[in-house]
Amino acid sequence: MPVPVVAVFGSSRTAPGTPAWAQAEAWGRAVARAGFAVASGGYGGSMEAVSRGAKAAGGLVIGVTAPDLFKSRSGANAHVDLELPAPTLTGRIERILEVSRAALALPGGLGTLTEILVAWNLAYIQRLQGEPPYPVGVDAAWRPLLRPHLELSPAEIELLTFLDGERDVEAFLSGLGAPE
């Protein structure tokens, strides 16, 4: 039976040796220790740190790349076990979500925000259809931006789980149920 997957989104700009890199590695380790494979965009920065952490904890690493979009990148990072190329940016995000049973989002930039919004919208649609919503955990640093305003209601915000530290990540993962 295949290993269930958790997506982890984060910045491609995260540099080795920074606190953000250490956080991404720790999240990757936590995903693998919880018995899940990790899926990310497969390139550098937080994606590489997550991949490295998951691999160090014995996990399977999936990288969903977009070679036609990111021509300057030479391929998936060295820790990726399975590379799944996608034709477009939106196709890449959709593919990551399709192979994953939940998503986590580290601090990041516009790309990470886009990934959060797509995952969050998936959760919203599933709830509207009477299904259990897709679990989305986001670093607490996103809270000031992702708060009730404009036409966002508290019920919509509640579709996100804000994570403040590695213990919150572990609790989020344990809430997904044990991998089969």
Q: How far apart are CA 77 and CA 75, in angstroms?
A: 7
Backbone torsion region of residue 105, taken as left when φ is above 0, otherwise alpha when ψ lies between -120 and 50, otherwise beta: beta
For 126-168, write each residue's pLDDT tens digit. Answer: 999 999 999 999 999 999 998 877 788 889 999 999 999 999 9
pLDDT confidence tier of residue 180, bands split at 50, 70 and 90: low
Please, are residues 77 and 48 in contact by the beta-carbon 8 Å criterion? yes
Q: What is the DSSP string of 9-58?
A: E--TTPPTTSHHHHHHHHHHHHHHHTT-EEEE--SSTHHHHHHHHHHHTT
CATH number of 5-174: 3.40.50.450
Would you state the pLDDT for residue 91? 95
For 15-70, write each residue's pLDDT tens digit. Answer: 999 999 999 999 999 999 999 999 999 989 999 999 999 999 999 999 999 878 77
What are the structural domain ranges in the chain? 5-174
pTM of this structure? 0.94
